[in-house]
Amino acid sequence: GAGVSQSPRYKVAKRGQDVALRCDPISGHVSLFWYQQALGQGPEFLTYFQNEAQLDKSGLPSDRFFAERPEGSVSTLKIQRTQQEDSAVYLCASSALRSGANVLTFGAGSRLTVL
């Protein structure tokens, strides 16, 4: 597609529910990133995929967070047993190359509110 697409744009969950957030990166982009942006803060790194391989998950805040990209394109971020502190905007980004100099293209984000 022309850009990075994320769904749903807004999600309200009751505490304890599981949620799944989807990211469709730009077609052909090798690298895919997930970031968490809390209100009034900058994006914080969660995890990184190169094709289908999850090369870095050091930013995932707990074992309730899980991400996958099974076919090297679409990615899903799953949060189990959501807590209020999980409320944030979850941003997905992709880039064409593995180079650190490459620009990330971001989606509009999925805003999660946990009640």
Partner 1 sequence: AQSVAQPEDQVNVAEGNPLTVKCTYSVSGNPYLFWYVQYPNRGLQFLLKYITGDNLVKGSYGFEAEFNKSQTSFHLKKPSALVSDSALYFCAVRDDTGANNLFFGTGTRLTVIP
Q: Which residues bind partner 1 (CB under 8 A)?
A: 4, 31, 33, 35, 40-45, 48, 50, 55-56, 59, 91, 93, 98, 100-101, 103-109
| CB of residue 33 to partner 1, shortest distance in Å | 7
Q: Are 110 and 21 a contacting pair, CB within 8 Å?
A: yes
Taking the complex as a whole, how short is the minimal distance between the CB of residue 26 and partner 1, in angstroms? 12
Rounded to whole angstroms, the Cα distance separating 65 from 45 reads 13
Rounded to the nearest whole angstrom, what is the least distance from the CB of residue 102 to partner 1 in the complex? 9
- Could you give the angle at the alpha carbon of 23 between the alpha carbons of 15 and 21, nearest 5°? 10
Residue closer to partner 1, measured from CB, 49 or 114: 49
State the Cα–Cα distance between residues 58 and 80, nearest whole angstrom.
Answer: 18
Nearer to partner 1, 45 or 66 (CB): 45
Q: Which is nearer to partner 1, 20 or 104 (CB)?
A: 104
Q: Return the closest-CA partner of residue 75 out of 5, 19, 10.
A: 5
82, two tokens: 């959501």
